[in-house]
Amino acid sequence: MNCPWCAFEGPPRSLHAHLAGKHADVVRTKEMNGTHFYEVTCPVCGESYEHRLRKGRRDPRFLDEFDGEIRMVALDMLVHHLVAEHTAQQTGA
């Protein structure tokens, strides 16, 4: 699989690690009405995935404390999306 932001190429697990190390900033977190969310947007098709973080509702430090873990989960969703929706485009199938 190819990284959608740079020249990296590798299997999905390696792509996930690459994204976490080099492109973790593509995951956005936000708070609305006391509820925390993460969002990641596919750079290939523009589809966004947003998910509510239930555990952070009562803890104002939750996003800071678990930032790395939140980004890993969001990037996992992105890799699954890339595999399901864009692998055929990369292989020319």
pLDDT in tens, 1-25: 999 999 999 999 999 999 999 999 9
pTM of the full predicted structure?
Answer: 0.84
How many angstroms separate the CA atoms of 64 and 67, rounded?
A: 5
Asked if residues 29 and 37 have their Cβ atoms less than 8 Å apart, the reply is yes
Domain boundaries, the chain: 12-85
Cβ neighbours of 71 (radius 10 Å): 21
Tokens found for residue 25: 């900033």
pLDDT (tens digit per residue) in 32-69 = 887 889 999 999 999 999 999 877 666 768 888 888 99
CB 37 within 8 A of CB 52: yes
